[in-house]
């Protein structure tokens, strides 16, 4: 059952991810990206990380993608036009991509030779209390640094936007 669900949602995630790139209209790409986020949340749920799954839907599929869709709608962005495709790119694209993937696979195999496969239901510490305890004890420093990083990013965006208005 777990394996079937995993395969179904993994396939949906990959297909939607490909669709994000293939679609020429930004709204269609954004909707495909929501599909990717949603199926990733299901994969987290299958692994036993229910809090991460809920956060994935609330933060990424909910808040972030709504902002994306909102901005695309606000700018009324039209469909992209295909232009400037170089001959070299269409000739070498696929072979180079396959070579890159093969190289990555080889490195992963070399660095983690005896990696154990993931099995479903083996992880149980995915509830909100376990996550909260880990965030505020073991990983307190990285957590706080990340929040300050986000704050800096917001301030940077405010500064950049203000300069354009003046």
Partner 1 sequence: MDSFIVISLIKTFVIFAVLMTTLAYLQWVERKVIAHIQVRPGPYRVGPHGLLQPLADVIKLITKEDLTPPYVNKPLYLFAPFFAITMALLSISVIPFGPTIEVAGYRTWMQLTDLNIGVLFILAVSSMGVYGIALAGWASNNKYALLGGLRSSAQMISYELPLSMAIASPLLISNTLSLRRLVGTQAGNLWHWNLFHGWQYVSFIVFLIAGFAETNRVPFDLPEAENELVAGYHTEYSSMKFASFFMAEYANMITVSSMATLLFLGGWVAPWPEQYGSGFVPVVLFAGAGIIALMHGLNPARKRDQYTLPVVGVIFLIVAAVFLLPVVQSWLLPLFWFLAKTGAILFAFIWVRGTLPRFRYDQLMGFAWKFLFPTAVLNLLATALVVALVS
Binding segment for partner 1 (CB under 8 A), chosen from 28-36, 80-88, 89-97, 145-153, is 28-36
79, burial (CB in 10 Å: exposed 0-12, middle 13-18, buried 19+):
exposed
Q: Work out whether the CA dihedral 14, 8, 98, 83 comes out positive or negative.
A: negative
Min CB(153)–partner 1 separation in Å: 18
Residue burial 105-128, b: 16+ Cβ < 10 Å; e: rest? eeeeeeeeeeeeeeeeeeeeebee
27 touching partner 1, by CB under 8 A: yes
The total of other beta-carbon atoms located within 10 Å of residue 41's CB is 23
Min CB(107)–partner 1 separation in Å: 36
Q: Pick from 46, 44, 72: which is nearest to 58 by CA? A: 44
Q: Based on CB atoms, which residue is closest to partner 1, 40 or 61? A: 61
Q: Quick one: which of 11, 18, 58, 135 contacts partner 1 (CB under 8 A)?
A: 58
54 touching partner 1, by CB under 8 A: yes
Interface ranges with partner 1 (CB under 8 A) = 27-28, 31, 34, 50-51, 54-55, 57-58, 61-63, 66-67, 69-70, 73-74, 76, 127-128
């Amino acid at each position: 059952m777990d394996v079937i669900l995993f395969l179904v949602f993994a396939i949906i995630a990959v297909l939607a991810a490909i669709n994000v790139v293939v679609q020429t209209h930004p709204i269609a790409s954004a909707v495909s990206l929501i599909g990717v986020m949603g199926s990733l949340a299901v994969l987290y749920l299958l692994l036993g990380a229910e809090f991460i799954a809920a956060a994935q839907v609330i933060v990424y599929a909910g808040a972030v993608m709504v902002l994306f869709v909102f901005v695309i709608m606000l700018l009324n962005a039209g469909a992209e036009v295909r232009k400037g495709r170089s001959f070299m790119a269409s000739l070498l694209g696929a072979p180079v991509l396959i070579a890159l993937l093969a190289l990555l696979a080889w490195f992963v195999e070399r660095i983690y030779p005896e990696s154990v496969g993931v099995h479903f239901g083996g992880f149980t510490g995915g509830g909100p209390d376990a996550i909260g305890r880990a965030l505020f004890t073991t990983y307190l420093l990285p957590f706080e640094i990340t929040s300050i990083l986000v704050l800096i990013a917001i301030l940077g965006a405010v500064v950049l936007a203000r300069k354009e208005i003046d």
